[in-house]
Structures are given as structure tokens and as C-alpha cells.
């Protein structure tokens, strides 16, 4: 039996990017029960990709109760709905076998990994204050894509002089803006720039210098998208809500590495249930951005553990 529920998790504070603000994470939770065992998965439908809670829920509820992971890959397209079902099926398989998920998947036992912590878009002085409050974190991620990007970046660097910094323009720049900003990004120690140009309008990245590695986010989905990124991007940001689950995520990660891309594993703003399978995907990634639960004021039972060593693999009571 497949059930779908909508869950809401309050954020610790309003979270803002160039596209807008939110005060809660609205997610879909999928539970699949067979032989008195229940596996669960979570997804975050994203309007940027034409997804709504209602439409994704309808996709999932249209699946047969006995769907397999293999059949699922063609039954639904890459996206949030397939992700939640795929991860629930992985969890169910582990529970039925009485094994941890990495054993089932034939993967090494996962370890804790450093994760970026995202600073919400705000006036520069507020971002400096936020950076200073989080300067103990090894990696800070800054949401940019506005006319005031440089003051914000300068403010964050002043607030957290020792932290590694990555920036996410959320498709908000032009080739000219990126070229103008690139020397300053180097000067301020930025080590990665996510999606500076709009997806579908990013061919110029193959023509201009990329002194700071450029990462495809909105331009990257699954294996089928990788060929079109060659020569334009140095890194791909894999999110399970884009690949359509852990099954495709692992395949996309391995192909991306074989094609010479470095890998970042990211997330939408969701609970520990959404992050748990992504922690498995992120093993060995050059960058990890799985801070969703750190942005929440409430979470799932048996949540992921975050400490000075980073984010730890999930408890089997949560997932896998």
C-alpha cells in the first residue's frame, strides 16, 4: 500500500533567495507498506520545475501499490514524486532484509561529511551578523543574484574570515556580470559558483573564462542532462528531487565523475528524511550542501545528527 501525506515544518527564521521567501517547508511524505514493514521517503515539489504539491501527489497516487524500483524509473519522470517513492522503496527493501541501506546497495559504509550552511539573502549588515554567528561552520553558502551582490559577499567574508565560501546566483546573473564579479570572487576566496546564468541560456559559459569553478544546478537533472553540460560547467549539483531518487542519483553521480565533472550534492529545504538518502549519495563528493534540517525549528523523529564532524548517516529508525 502506498500512502501520501503533506507535512509542514516551520523554519527557524524566514529563508530568502532571489526568487522569494518562505517561513515553512512543505513536503510530501510517501510511505509504502508490505509484509508488515513500512518504508518512507520525502520530496519537496518545486515550482521552478513546474511542480506543485497537488500535481506531484497525483503522480504518486496513480502508481500501482506493487510498483518496483526498476518499474518506477519509467513510470514517473525525474523529479520530486519519483524521488519520494524511490527512497521509500529503498527504505522498505532495507527493512525487509534487516540490513542497512548501504549493504543492500553494495556501497561502502558511509561516514560523516562536512556540509555547507546557507545564509539567507538579507541586507549586507544582517548577512555579516549571520556570518559571524556561523563562523564556526567550515563552509558557508551565500544566496546571491541581486544588484547588491558584492556588498553582501564582502560583508560575509568580513563576518567569517576563515570559513570556506560558495555562492549560488540562482540563475540571476548575465555573462557580463559574472565576468565582472569573477576577479572579486577569487579575491574573497570563493571556491565555487552555482548556476550563474539561467538554464537554457548558459552557452556563454563555454566561451568565457571560469577562474572560479562553475556548478550546474538548475541545468542539471539526471544522466540525460550531463552531455549538454560539457565545456560549460566544472561541477554538477545533484539533488534527489531532480534526479528522481537515489537509484538515478547514484548512476548520475558515477557517470558525472567518469565524464570529468566534480560533484556537489545539494538539497531543497526539507526534513532529515529528505537528507538521509542524500548523505549516502554525498559520500566522496567534493562539496556537500545538506543543511535543510539546520534551517528548521522542528524535524522528524530520530533526526540526522549534526556536529563538528558534519552530518552523520541516518539512524535506521529514520531511513535506511
Question: Nearest CA to 275 among 299, 298, 253?
Answer: 299
Helices (H), the chain: 53-61, 69-75, 80-97, 101-105, 124-133, 149-159, 175-187, 223-226, 240-243, 246-258, 272-281
Helix (H, G, I), strand (E, B) or coil at 130: helix
Under 8 Å between Cβ of 31 and 89? no
DSSP letters for 243-286? HTSHHHHHHHHHHHHHTT-EEEE---S--HHHHHHHHHHTTT-S
Under 8 Å between Cβ of 239 and 279? no
Would you call 285 exposed, middle or buried from its count of C-beta atoms within 10 A (0-12, 13-18, 19+)? Answer: buried
For the stretch 230-250, what's the b/e string if a residue is b when 16 or more beta carbons lie within 10 angstroms of its beta carbon? eebbbbbbbbbbbbbbbbbbb
The residues facing 41 across adjacent strands are 30
Under 8 Å between Cβ of 122 and 102? no
In the block, cell 566544472 appears at: 234
Rg (CA), the chain: 19
Set of cell numbers at residue 209: 573564462
Set of cell numbers at residue 73: 524509473
Question: Residues with catalytic annotation?
Answer: 143, 239
Amino acid at each position: 500500500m502506498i500512502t501520501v501525506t503533506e507535512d509542514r515544518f516551520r523554519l527557524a527564521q524566514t529563508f530568502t533567495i532571489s526568487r522569494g521567501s518562505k517561513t515553512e517547508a512543505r513536503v510530501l511524505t510517501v510511505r509504502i507498506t508490505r509484509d508488515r514493514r513500512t518504508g518512507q521517503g520525502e520530496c519537496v515539489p518545486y515550482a521552478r520545475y513546474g511542480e506543485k504539491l497537488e500535481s506531484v501527489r497525483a503522480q504518486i497516487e496513480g502508481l500501482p501499490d506493487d510498483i518496483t524500483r526498476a518499474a518506477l524509473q519509467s513510470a514517473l519522470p525525474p523529479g520530486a514524486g519519483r524521488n519520494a517513492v524511490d527512497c521509500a522503496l529503498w527504505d522498505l527493501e532495507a527493512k525487509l532484509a534487516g540490513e542497512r541501506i548501504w549493504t543492500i546497495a553494495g556501497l561502502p559504509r558511509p561516514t560523516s561529511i562536512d556540509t555547507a550552511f546557507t545564509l539567507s539573502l538579507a541586507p549586507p549588515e544582517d548577512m555579516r551578523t549571520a556570518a559571524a554567528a556561523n563562523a564556526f561552520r567550515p563552509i558557508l553558502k551565500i544566496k546571491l543574484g541581486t544588484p547588491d551582490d558584492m556588498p553582501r559577499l564582502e560583508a560575509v567574508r568580513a563576518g567569517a574570515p576563515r570559513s570556506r565560501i560558495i555562492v549560488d546566483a540562482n540563475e540571476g546573473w548575465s555573462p557580463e556580470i559574472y565576468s565582472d564579479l569573477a576577479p572579486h570572487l577569487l579575491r574573497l576566496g570563493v571556491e565555487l559558483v552555482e548556476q550563474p546564468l539561467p538554464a537554457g541560456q548558459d552557452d556563454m559559459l563555454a566561451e568565457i573564462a571560469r577562474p572560479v569553478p562553475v556548478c550546474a544546478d538548475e541545468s542539471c537533472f539526471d544522466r540525460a542532462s550531463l552531455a549538454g553540460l560539457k565545456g560549460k560547467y566544472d561541477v554538477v549539483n545533484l539533488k534527489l528531487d531532480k534526479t528522481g531518487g537515489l537509484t538515478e542519483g547514484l548512476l548520475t553521480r558515477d557517470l558525472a565523475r567518469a565524464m570529468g565533472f566534480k560533484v556537489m550534492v545539494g538539497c531543497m529545504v526539507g526534513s532529515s528524511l529528505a537528507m538521509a538518502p542524500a548523505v549516502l549519495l554525498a559520500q566522496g563528493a567534493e562539496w556537500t550542501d545538506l543543511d535543510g534540517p539546520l534551517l528548521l525549528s522542528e524535524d522528524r523523529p530520530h533526526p540526522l545528527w549534526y556536529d563538528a564532524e558534519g552530518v552523520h548517516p541516518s539512524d535506521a529508525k529514520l531511513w535506511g
